[in-house]
Amino acid sequence: MPEYLTSPEGRRIAYHRTEGRGPGVVFLGGFKSDMGGTKAVHLETWAQARGHAFLRFDYSGHGESSGAFIEGAIGDWAEDAAAAITTLTEGPQVLVGSSMGGWISLLMARRLGARVAGLVTIAAAPDFTEDSMWAGFSAAQRAELAETGQVALPSDYGEPYIITRRLIEEGRNQLVLRDPLPLPYPVRMLQGTADEDVSQDVALRLLAHAEGDDIRLTLVKGADHRFSAPPQLALIEQALEEVLAALTPAGAP
């Protein structure tokens, strides 16, 4: 059973927390996903085996947290992430962001300062509400969004996504690829070449845009957006181990 945190905005955030040594690891999930997904649970097991502190949680409107998904927006979910990280963890954290969670992790890098010590992104989708959704809408879809406040998009993961006007408009306040993006710590980015949801062009754009001395992108031929097959989970572990090793003083356990 999860525990619950009430955020400053009054939202009830479900989470699972593992005590352990730092730097801690926080998993940030994707759009309409939840903390029970393959990558989140796999990394929790990985962290427990190594004695690392670990946190996974559901944004509001996702999984076991309060609220309706259709009422949320990127800024809300960033507030949820900030509340979870600042309240439920201690000291520097390495953020592992999957898809939308990659965007959220970049917002946390901007917002939380030294609490963020490193990043691992998996098919990161920064600015997707503007550059993928809005840019990809037809004139008819844009008109429907303006008139009714929402539009349905097909999904490979079940029911159609209901995209609201608020999601698009509020997302414009959270964009990270239009302004300088300093990431002054180890960053490992993973991206599959067979990803049909996030193009590898997005990963290359993020790599070019981010500012830092230790940022690497790994393109994995044939990997899809889920990035959850055993070889891909092993690559996530490897990326996380690289970041943690760079942050751990020589001779430390």
Query: What tens digit of pLDDT does each residue of 89-128 get?
Result: 999 999 999 999 999 999 999 999 999 999 999 999 999 9
Do the beta carbons of residue 92 and residue 114 sit within 8 Å?
yes
Do the beta carbons of residue 55 and residue 26 sit within 8 Å?
yes
Residues sharing a CB contact under 8 Å with residue 242, sequence separation 6 or more, in sequence order: 186, 188
pLDDT of residue 253: 52
Which architecture characterizes domain 3-128+177-247 according to CATH?
Answer: 3-Layer(aba) Sandwich (3.40)
The string of pLDDT tens digits covering residues 49-105 is 999 999 999 999 999 999 999 999 999 999 999 999 999 999 999 999 999 999 999
Q: By C-alpha distance, which of 117, 100, 131 is closest to 201? A: 131
- Total Cβ atoms within 10 A of residue 104: 29
Q: Tell me phi and psi for residue 47, to 5 degrees.
A: -65, -40
Q: In this structure, are strands 93-98 and 52-57 parallel, antiparallel, or unpaired?
A: unpaired
Bridge partner list, 239: none
Q: Where are the alpha helices (DSSP H) in the chain?
A: 38-50, 74-88, 100-112, 128, 135-136, 139-148, 165-171, 200-209, 230-247
Is it the case that residue 252 has pLDDT exceeding 70? Answer: no
Looking at the chain, the whole-number percentage of residues with pLDDT higher than 70 is 98
Tokens of 70: 């259709």
The string of pLDDT tens digits covering residues 30-50 is 999 999 999 999 999 999 999
Residue 12 CA neighbour count, 13 Å, CB half: 9
Which position has the higher pLDDT, 136 or 159? 136
